[in-house]
Amino acid sequence: MAQFTVTGDVDPFLHISLASGEKIYCESNAMVMMEDTLELKGKMTGGLGSALMRRLANDESFFQQHIEAVRGAGDCLLSPTLPGAIQVLDVGETHYMVSDGAFVAADHSVNLNVRTQGVGSALFGQTGGFFICEASGRGKLAVSGFGSSFVLDVEPGKDMIIDNAHVVAWDSRLHHEISVTTRQGGGLLGQLVNSVTSGEGMVLKFSGKGKVVICSRNRENFLSWLLKGMPANR
């Protein structure tokens, strides 16, 4: 099985070492460098239907890069689109749900499938509308968020409330509910008003037992901040 290593403290690379015959796949344009023993091909992973569903669910590229060690062992360096930390997760007994744009790379034996989610998450979330990607199978999965990352351990009786825009991936066994505010009661209108006035936005409440990967930056807020600084918007 390919070896996944994160190298560098600030805006790191994903370093993957493959033995002869091993294969990985990654997001389009993720490959930065690879040795000439490796071969890269663009493919629709899982066929047309799966590629289209992933496009709808996670805004992933229609074609992904597949890298195989065809002429002997070799190394490659990958990089996510947004600047930020990379987390390598073990998929096996644990499956992971992956937020929009968080997928970086995975072992060939890891499947990135699409499944439906609840109406509330579909309408208010930033995780692919009615569809969301789930990583299953067995092997390594690399995900990335904007900025630094942190892994939270959710335990029974210790629920976690996380701003929706900062969620990168989570254990699929966790129960999650989406809300427009952390405020209890007050009805939907009161919660919407509190969400707007507090700047809190949508939040996800996780319960059960499992891990949640979060990132420090909100890409939509950062983009809005950049646009406000453009000369035409001053």
- pLDDT tens-digit series, residues 133-180: 899 999 999 999 999 999 999 999 999 999 988 999 999 999 988 876
* pLDDT, mean of residues 22-46: 90
3-class secondary structure, 162: strand
Give the Å distances, CA to CA, from 12 to 33, 79, 146. 14, 7, 12
pLDDT value at position 98?
A: 92
* pLDDT, mean of residues 187-211: 63
Q: Across the chain, where does the E strand assignment appear?
A: 3-7, 13-18, 23-26, 31-34, 38-43, 64-69, 74-78, 86-91, 96-98, 103-107, 110-116, 131-137, 139-144, 149-154, 160-163, 167-171, 175-179, 203-207, 210-215
3-class secondary structure, 96: strand
Structure-model confidence comparison of residues 165 and 59, the more confident one: 165
What does the longest C-alpha to C-alpha distance in the chain come to?
Answer: 64
pLDDT tens digits, one per residue of 70-103: 999 999 999 998 899 999 999 999 999 998 889 9
pLDDT value at position 126?
A: 47
Query: Confidence band (pLDDT; 50, 70, 90) for 229?
Result: confident
3-class secondary structure, 30: coil
pTM beyond 0.85, yes or no = no
**Gap between the Cα atoms of 181 and 187, Å rounded:** 11
**In contact, 45 and 109? CB cutoff 8 Å:** no
Q: Quick check: 55 pLDDT over 90?
A: no
Query: Confidence band (pLDDT; 50, 70, 90) for 66?
Result: very high
Q: Quick check: 192 pLDDT over 80?
A: no
Describe the strand order of the beta sheet including 96-98 as a list of residue ranges: 110-116, 131-137, 96-98, 167-171, 210-215, 149-154
Q: Which residues, including other chains, have CB under 8 Å from residue 232's CB and lie 6 or more apart?
A: none
Structure-model confidence comparison of residues 222 and 117, the more confident one: 222
pLDDT value at position 176?
A: 87
Q: Quick check: 127 pLDDT over 80?
A: no
**Average model confidence (pLDDT) for the chain?**
82
**In contact, 96 and 138? CB cutoff 8 Å:** no
pLDDT value at position 125?
A: 46
Q: Which residues, including other chains, have CB under 8 Å from residue 91's CB and lie 6 or more apart?
A: 106, 107, 110, 135, 136, 137, 138, 139, 140, 141
